[in-house]
């Protein structure tokens, strides 16, 4: 069974006070949501009931009548033909976007309290208009992503102790041995080609046959195109499909920025905006917006008319457009244009770890590939796929602006870890992107104001 970090989210939900709410898992198709819930239920509950509204057309009939809890649970047990044990049963409502009334009913089911509920949805962002009443306050949401590089390493046999050792080197800004560095670098190249779709990762672990991997990747790309044809508004389907198919070639352009004129010389942002949002909401494309200045809060400085658009999975990017590039990558031949692929895998990692994606690009300073926010701090990141990773003029220009107070930056590269304290730049091996994570709020933040002065 593949190890997924999101399993900890499910366990925390079950143990915490949030258990009186349903857990909603969102994310793109084929990223392993259903498999994860099944494993969780097998280990944590005496009974498990699963409804899949996509594969079972009759499941929606459970919610066709009144939406009070007693009626629904009666319908549910009759439909499943099995009694369910109160207090020790998990009910999975899979692909809930196919049954909007089930989403509305969550409020009443959670209030009833007999069972625990997990919902999964692959295209919730593009079908929310069909829900008549949202269960506000009765859902806890968590977005899942394809497997990140750390999960890939564990699946491929890397020991957790090795990950811990690498994490310590990252924290202490110390290089690893050349043997370890070489091995991890080759693993990262394999991750670029294979990506993080669980079924594909499992096939790679079982066979290490890249031909089989590419076939499966094309199947998922075809599934995404079918989703566009099925779920997008009729008037938007052609635009969405053209955007989706253009992502690889647009990334392969020198500046990576998505240029509508490359789709259609008469294209206008307002006409295509719904298409970009559809792909982002479906989880199959990752927008990265330009900011006017690399200062917090980055969201307030975002320019939504200027953006890069990445694929949600680097393996799918390789399979979709880059003409049998897999073998040269695995052999370490990076003479091809690796910039687009490398930026995509970094974007995928950063988003999975909890960052929102932005970049900085002006004529005066140049382009910095990513700027991310961790707490109140902004971190510029430059991604280098070639051998010239110490040359980063735009990053130097940006770091030199005193009023921006950028005390630290990362250059993600092929080289071993090295910290340049004088310039505040850490040269980080690409595989150590797995350790970049935003600051987290503590679990408890007690705060009291002394009111004694008001009572004197």
The model's confidence at residue 337, banded by pLDDT at 50, 70 and 90, is: low
Model pLDDT, residue 201: 98
Burial code (b: 16+ CB inside 10 Å, e: under 16) for 61-79 equals: ebbeeebebeebbebbeee
Model pLDDT, residue 17: 59
User: Do 212 and 351 sit in the same domain of this protein?
Assistant: yes
Question: Are 197 and 30 within 8 A, CB to CB?
Answer: yes
Q: How far apart are alpha carbons 80 and 339 in whole angstroms? A: 52
Name the domain boundary from 143, 165, 187.
Answer: 143
> Do the domain assignments include residue 193?
yes
User: Do 164 and 136 sit in the same domain of this protein?
Assistant: no
User: Do 28 and 135 sit in the same domain of this protein?
Assistant: yes
Model pLDDT, residue 131: 66
Q: Domain with 37 in it: what CATH number?
A: 3.40.50.300
213-234, pLDDT tens digit by residue? Answer: 999 999 999 999 999 998 888 8
88-142, pLDDT tens digit by residue? Answer: 999 999 999 899 999 999 999 999 999 999 999 887 766 555 666 777 788 999 9
> Do the domain assignments include residue 1?
no
pLDDT for residue 271 is more than 70: no
User: Do 162 and 208 sit in the same domain of this protein?
Assistant: yes
The model's confidence at residue 324, banded by pLDDT at 50, 70 and 90, is: confident
Question: Are 150 and 163 within 8 A, CB to CB?
Answer: yes
pTM of the model: 0.91
SS3 content of the chain, % helix, strand, coil (to 5): 50, 15, 35
> Do the domain assignments include residue 235?
yes
User: Do 285 and 418 sit in the same domain of this protein?
Assistant: yes
Question: Are 120 and 94 within 8 A, CB to CB?
Answer: yes
Model pLDDT, residue 270: 53
User: Do 186 and 129 sit in the same domain of this protein?
Assistant: no
> What average pLDDT does the segment 442-451 reach?
80
User: Do 328 and 226 sit in the same domain of this protein?
Assistant: yes
Model pLDDT, residue 268: 52
pLDDT for residue 40 is more than 70: yes
| Domain enclosing residue 248, as ranges | 149-435
> Do the domain assignments include residue 176?
yes
């Amino acid at each position: 069974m593949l190890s997924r970090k999101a399993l900890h989210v499910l366990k925390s939900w079950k143990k915490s006070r949030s258990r009186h709410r349903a857990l909603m898992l969102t994310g793109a198709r084929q990223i392993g949501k259903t498999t994860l819930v099944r494993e969780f239920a097998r280990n944590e509950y005496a009974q498990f009931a699963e409804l899949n509204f996509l594969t079972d057309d009759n499941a929606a009939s459970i919610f066709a009548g009144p939406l009070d809890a007693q009626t629904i649970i009666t319908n549910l047990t009759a439909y499943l033909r099995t009694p369910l044990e109160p207090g020790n049963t998990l009910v999975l409502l899979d692909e809930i976007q196919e049954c909007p009334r089930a989403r509305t009913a969550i409020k009443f089911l959670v209030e009833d309290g007999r069972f625990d509920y997990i919902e999964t949805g692959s295209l919730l962002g593009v079908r929310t208009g069909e829900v008549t009443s949202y269960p506000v306050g009765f859902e806890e949401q968590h977005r899942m992503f394809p497997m990140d590089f750390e999960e890939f390493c564990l699946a491929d046999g890397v020991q957790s102790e090795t990950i811990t050792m690498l994490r310590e080197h990252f924290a202490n800004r110390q290089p690893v041995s050349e043997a370890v560095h070489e091995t991890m670098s080759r693993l990262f190249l394999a991750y670029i080609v294979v990506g993080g779709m669980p079924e594909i990762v499992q096939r790679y672990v079982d066979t290490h046959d890249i031909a089989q991997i590419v076939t499966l990747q094309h199947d998922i790309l075809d599934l995404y195109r079918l989703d566009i044809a099925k779920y997008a508004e009729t008037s938007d389907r052609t635009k969405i499909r053209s955007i989706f198919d253009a992502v690889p070639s647009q990334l392969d352009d020198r500046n990576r920025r998505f240029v509508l004129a490359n789709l259609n010389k008469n294209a206008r942002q307002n006409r295509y905006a719904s298409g970009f949002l559809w792909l982002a909401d479906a989880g199959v494309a990752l927008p990265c917006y330009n900011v006017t200045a690399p200062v917090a809060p980055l969201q307030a400085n975002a320019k939504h008319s200027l953006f890069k658009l990445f694929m949600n999975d680097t393996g799918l990017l390789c399979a979709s457009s880059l003409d049998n590039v897999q073998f040269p990558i695995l052999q370490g031949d990076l003479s091809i244009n690796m910039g687009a692929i490398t930026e995509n895998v970094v974007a995928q990692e950063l988003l999975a770890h909890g960052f929102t994606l932005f970049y900085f690009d002006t004529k005066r300073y140049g382009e910095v590939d990513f700027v991310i926010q961790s707490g109140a701090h902004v971190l510029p990141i430059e991604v280098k796929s070639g051998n010239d990773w110490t040359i980063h003029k735009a990053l130097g220009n940006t770091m030199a602006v005193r009023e921006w107070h950028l005390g630290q930056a990362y250059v993600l590269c092929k080289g071993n870890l090295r910290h340049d304290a004088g310039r505040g730049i850490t040269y980080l091996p690409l595989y150590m992107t797995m350790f970049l994570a935003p600051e987290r709020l503590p679990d408890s933040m007690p705060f009291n104001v002394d009111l004694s002065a008001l009572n004197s």
